[in-house]
């Protein structure tokens, strides 16, 4: 539930902001913004996962939570770039 809720929140904000950037500033600003915003999402998600998933006995190590956040966001970033290229009107 923590991963789903965190991902839903960060991806919703990311996509709303990217749509606004693309509409107001164009595709070059979109690509630039996508890179730094995805980095911000990684930092937010990594911090949330490290704090909430590594608690107590049987929790996941903080290192693993950060690695998960990194891997998931790398895949998300790559998929987003592919989707944006195939369906430019989606943003």
Residue 9: pLDDT over 60:
yes
Residue 63: pLDDT over 60:
yes
Q: What share of the chain is helix, strand, coil (3-state, %, to 5)?
A: 85, 0, 15
Q: Are 74 and 28 in contact (CB under 8 A)?
A: no
Q: Are 17 and 2 in contact (CB under 8 A)?
A: no
Model pTM score: 0.82
Give the residue-averaged pLDDT of 51-77.
Answer: 88
Give the residue-averaged pLDDT of 3-10.
Answer: 93
CA distance 70 to 62: 12
Please state the domain extents for the chain.
Answer: 2-90
């Amino acid at each position: 539930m923590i991963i789903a809720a965190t991902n839903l929140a960060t991806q919703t904000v990311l996509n709303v902001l990217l749509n606004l950037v693309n509409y107001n500033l164009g595709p070059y600003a979109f690509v630039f913004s996508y890179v730094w915003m995805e980095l911000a999402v990684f930092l937010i998600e990594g911090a949330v996962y490290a704090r909430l998933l590594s608690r107590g006995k049987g929790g996941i190590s903080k290192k693993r939570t950060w690695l998960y956040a990194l891997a998931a966001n790398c895949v998300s970033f790559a998929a987003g770039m592919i989707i944006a290229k195939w369906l430019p009107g989606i943003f």
